[in-house]
Amino acid sequence: MDTELPAHLWSLVKPRIVTLLCVTGAFSLLAAGGASAATVAGFVVAGACIAASAAAWNCWYDRNLDQHMERTADRPLPSGRLDHRVAAAFATTLVVVGTAVGLALLPAQSVAFMLLGFASYVGLYTVALKRRHWLGVVLGGSAGSFPVLAGWTAVRPLTAAPLVMALVVFAWTPAHAWALAYVYREEFASVDIPTLPVVASTAQVQRGIRYAVWSTVATVLAVIPFAEPPYAVTAVAGSVLFVLGFRPFLRTGSERTAVRAFFTSNLYLAVLFVAWGAGGVLPDLTPWSQLLTLAALPALFVGMWAAQPSLRGVPASVGGEWRPVTDRIAAGVAAFQLRMAREHDRPGKGE
């Protein structure tokens, strides 16, 4: 028996992506009012298996491309340490198990949304768009929206709230993905993947990410009328920090600021969904709790920036979070001083 087989199979499922999808789905379930432990467990198992299967099929389909990129060449499939037939059998088993568990423990509509997410990621993004058009990431972002709908419909019928929250994930995906692709743009270019940082100039990438950032913030704030106080407080404070996290890249276009933006986007989405889910089971947030949230969020983001997570050996940039505020204060003080000087120099003044 190959003792490395479990590790090879584990690498196929992209655990960090699956974890983020499980977070959005599970906290959507809580936002809908929560459910029994069996339902929650069934949802997590089914959702994780189906999402993991989609990730494994993505690795299987891209194995020949991955051979030519430094970031992925050492993965089990492109390196030849894992037989592609074993990977295909594993991916098939995951989606079958996930679907069976879901149908046994969840409403059929919830499972259908999970499978739509699978089809969107594997069919629409991986096969149809990724190698053909820079809009692949934008349209493929729909794959991340379906766990939101799956989580909500595991408890109750669809309403406006989960639909708008699903749009949050859709709007969030381009800025997140393009920040990552900017760091790896040379590797994507080497295999002719036409992601935006490959086919556009840095200025155009910055412009596209700026539109995506503000579209995300607008969609996040649009959820507030349908949500409880925990989400509202987090959405307002988190959105400010989200913009501040991306601002250095929009100013300089450096790789270090792109790394910072990428990890900022991950944290932003996670705290939004945690707050949304908390509002479903703990809707009454006291003023003291609101103040605690407002204090904790900046500490969380600044702590992440200070930790300097890295991509491709490039550490995230640190500092400058409050520069927009200090710049405005400095500009205001300078304008006030100039106005006072002009007043003083006017005829009849200062004599």
pLDDT, one tens digit per residue, over 49-102 is: 999 999 999 999 988 888 878 778 888 888 888 999 999 999 999 999 999 999
SS (H, E, C) the chain: CCCCHHHHHHHHCCHHHHHHHHHHHHHHHHHCCCCCHHHHHHHHHHHHHHHHHHHHHHHHHCHHHHCCCCCCCCCHHHHCCCCHHHHHHHHHHHHHHHHHHHHHHCCHHHHHHHHHHHHHHHHHHHHHHCCCCCCHHHHHCHHHHHHHHHHHHCCCCCCHHHHHHHHHHHHHHHHHHHHHHHHCHHHHHHCCCCCHHHHCCHHHHHHHHHHHHHHHHHHHHHCHHHCCHHHHHHHHHHHHHHHHHHHHHHHHCCHHHHHHHHHHHHHHHHHHHHHHHHHHHCCCCCHHHHHHHHHHHHHHHHHHHHHCCEECCEECCCCCCCHHHHHHHHHHHHHHHHHHHHHHHCCCCCC
Give the mean pLDDT of the chain: 88
Cut 0.95: pTM above it: no
Contacts of 195 (CB under 8 A, 6+ apart): 134, 136, 137, 177, 178, 181, 185, 188
Question: Does pLDDT of 312 surpass 70?
Answer: yes
**Nearest partner of 24 among 138, 134, 170, judged by Cα:** 170
* Residue recorded with tokens 């205001």: 332
195-249: pLDDT as tens digits: 999 999 999 999 999 999 999 999 999 999 998 888 999 999 999 999 999 999 9
For domain 1-132+140-156, the CATH architecture is Orthogonal Bundle (1.10)
283-297 pLDDT, tens digit per residue, is 766 676 777 777 889
Q: Which ranges in the chain are annotated with CATH 1.10.357.140? A: 1-132+140-156
What integer pLDDT is reported at residue 73 of this predicted model? 81
Q: Which two tokens stand for residue 273?
A: 């969904």
Closest CA to 247 of 261, 267, 230: 261
Q: How far apart are CA 7 and CA 19, in angstroms?
A: 17
Percent of the chain whose pLDDT exceeds 70: 89
pLDDT in the model for residue 291: 77
Task: Check pLDDT > 80 for residue 6.
Answer: yes
Q: What is the pLDDT of residue 75?
A: 86
The pLDDT of residue 253 is 94
pLDDT at 326 over 60: no
State the Cα–Cα distance between residues 38 and 151, nearest whole angstrom: 14
Among the residue ranges 40-44, 140-144, 160-164, 218-222, the one predicted with the least confidence is 140-144
Residue 30 has pLDDT above 80, yes or no: yes
**Portion of the chain with pLDDT greater than 90, in percent:** 61
CA distance 255 to 235: 27
Top mean pLDDT of 73-77, 136-140, 297-301 is at 297-301
Q: Which two tokens stand for residue 26?
A: 């599970």
CB 32 within 8 A of CB 151: yes
Q: In the prediction, which pLDDT does 348 show? A: 57
Q: Which of 34-38, 138-142, 168-172 has the lowest mean pLDDT?
A: 138-142
